[in-house]
Structure 1
Amino acid sequence: MPQSIDHIVIAVTDLDQAVRDYETLGFTVLPGGEHPRGSRNALVVLADGAYLEIIAFSRPVPGFRWWKVLDEAGSGLVDYALLPDETLDADLARTRAAGIEIDGPIDGERLQPDGTRIAWRSARPPEPDIPFICEDVTPRALRVPEGKVRKHANGVTGVAGVTVAVRDLAASVARYRALTGLEPVARGAVPGLGFGLAQFRLGRQVLSLTEARSDACESLTRHLGRRGQGAFAISFFGPADRCLDRALAHGARLEIVREL
């Protein structure tokens, strides 16, 4: 079963400006490359091996959900991926056996600026309340560079968690159980804040599922209405006294938390 976050996707309308802004936020940003579908990306690779994919599209891709959300709702978080625990094929078989509909394996590739081809395979659920699964075909170090590029001026070292907006908490909890083979470590309503919460722990990382239960949770309700289910916010490990200016994050909710 998938057991760690591979990457988190932020779709933007202006990739060059997003690169400059994320550098201003204190991240080391690397050029990624171009995909056959007409998108290009940049990467923020963290010391724990997870990374941010900042992606933009040079032309419409009507059948692709990331482009559709970007086109309709603007820049922001659109998805996230987990690494398979064993192989994509094994995890795909177990996920389907558990009753989860998921498409794949799907071949993916991009060309780096120097012409190097990077390839991977993925499995993607039609409904993005749960993440997709991604497995490398070419060496992982090509897709996820190592070394000093993983150090960031803002002190961020890794992904602490992803908060996911869902419409039906009970249904999504069941789907996460099936996908990860794990039980939630916490579950219930958050008094006074108007939302329900369930959390799954993947090693150091926490996946938090949130369901709006009253008008008090305006930001979550607005997100679900505009962007649909899926990634809502990201927490990073790092110096908790540092703030990440949301005005520079191109619609993504980002925060730094101290590792306990």
Structure 2
Amino acid sequence: MAGFLGIDHALIVVRDIDLVRDRYATLGFTMTPVGRHPWGTSTSLAMFDQCLLEIMSIYDESLLDEKPVGDFRFGRTIYKHLREREGISLLALHSEDAAGDVEIVQRRGIVSQGTIAFGRDVVLPDGRPDRTATTLKILYDPALPRLSNFICQQHRPELIYVPQWLSHPNGANGISRVTILARPEHQEKVRTRLSGLYGAEAIFDHPGGFGARTGNGVFVVADRAAVEKIYGALPVSLRDAAEPCCIAIHVTVSSVARVIPFLDAAEAEYRRDGNEISLVDAEAYGNVFLAFSERP
């Protein structure tokens, strides 16, 4: 079970959801059918136990301002980020008690704009239609727009964590890390943000920056030199990123050897360091470096 505000999922915003969804499927992920949110965004998921990968795009610009929370518009925010470039927009934090968890982070200085309650139509693997029920607590920070979060509580998890969707041919079973690219002069405000979410005791040292432990996985904050040493050259659209942003997701797998045939079949260039593999071409997967590490 995920602990306090574990990494739930990053919203990988892309212009062509069908194309990128197919690319993730080629890597051995079981992708859900494309669904729709009430604020105009489309979505396809790779589900793990209490966390996931989400690919998102826009299907109806006329809905972007639906379900506003104060000055925050979910669809409008995704649209704005996608107009700038593909990549991770917002990041969801897992919760079993959204109301209680938001009170904790507010006491640490994190601002919440309020609540969005919504449902999304789904078609289960056996063909039955149903509708999810989700509560979001928005934690948007105008000073860190691409590191803003929302607390996410699923009230009908049986419609999200469906056994058939949890089984991936490549053996994927979770998320262990999200890497944040931040220039040295911006790292202090990122530290303040992560300390507000998780407490100062969650912060640890890391080359090129620092990290923060969550209830599921870690955030690692690093400058460009440290990021490129791990993953290779940044995509052109990220090299001059003005603000800190998430640029890599580490997926756990039962065995690295199980992943390699999919990477070879997809002709995906990768680096291998022991029991960890990272893909070199971030641009092909929504401006995200995907990495795989073993967790049986």
Q: Same fold (TM over 0.5)?
A: yes
Shift of 1:160: 1.3
- Alpha-carbon separation, structure 1, partners of 2:190 and 2:235: 16
| 1:68 aligned partner | 80
- Alpha-carbon separation, structure 2, partners of 1:78 and 1:94: 24
Query: Any gaps of 5 or more consecutive residues in structure 1?
Result: 191-195
Q: 1:106 aligns with which of 99, 109, 116?
A: 116
Shift of 1:28: 0.5
- Say which is worse superposed, 5-14 or 242-251, in terms of deviation: 242-251
- Alpha-carbon separation, structure 1, partners of 2:192 and 2:58: 34
The answer to whether residue 235 in structure 2 is matched with residue 236 in structure 1 is no
Shift of 1:80: 1.7
Query: Any gaps of 5 or more consecutive residues in structure 2?
Result: 66-72, 269-280
Q: Say if 2:247 and 2:287, in contact at 8 Å, map to a contact too.
A: no
Q: Say if 2:44 and 2:54, in contact at 8 Å, map to a contact too.
A: yes
- Alpha-carbon separation, structure 1, partners of 2:6 and 2:220: 14
Secondary structure, in 3 states, of the residue corresponding to 1:42? strand
Secondary structure, in 3 states, of the residue corresponding to 1:112? strand
- Say which is worse superposed, 153-162 or 121-130, in terms of deviation: 121-130
How many equivalent residue pairs?
249
Q: Say if 1:232 and 1:253, in contact at 8 Å, map to a contact too.
A: yes
- CA change 1:59–1:227 in 2 (3 A) is farther
| 2:88 aligned partner | 77
| 2:182 aligned partner | 166
- Alpha-carbon separation, structure 2, partners of 1:71 and 1:231: 17
| 1:44 aligned partner | 46
Deviations along 1:136-188, whole A, 9 cap, x unmatched? Answer: 2x31121x232132121222221111112335222221221221235245325
| 1:223 aligned partner | 238
Deviations along 1:48-96, whole A, 9 cap, x unmatched? Answer: 32111111112333752222111221x3222221113x52122212222
- CA change 1:229–1:141 in 2 (3 A) is farther
Q: Say if 1:212 and 1:221, in contact at 8 Å, map to a contact too.
A: no
Deviations along 1:89-115, whole A, 9 cap, x unmatched? Answer: 222122222112221222233222465
- Alpha-carbon separation, structure 2, partners of 1:163 and 1:170: 16
Shift of 1:220: 8.9
1:180-219 equivalences under 5 Å are 180-181=198-199, 183-184=201-202, 186-187=204-205, 190=207, 196-203=208-215, 205-212=217-224, 219=234
Q: 2:151 aligns with which of 105, 115, 133?
A: 133
- Alpha-carbon separation, structure 2, partners of 1:198 and 1:130: 18
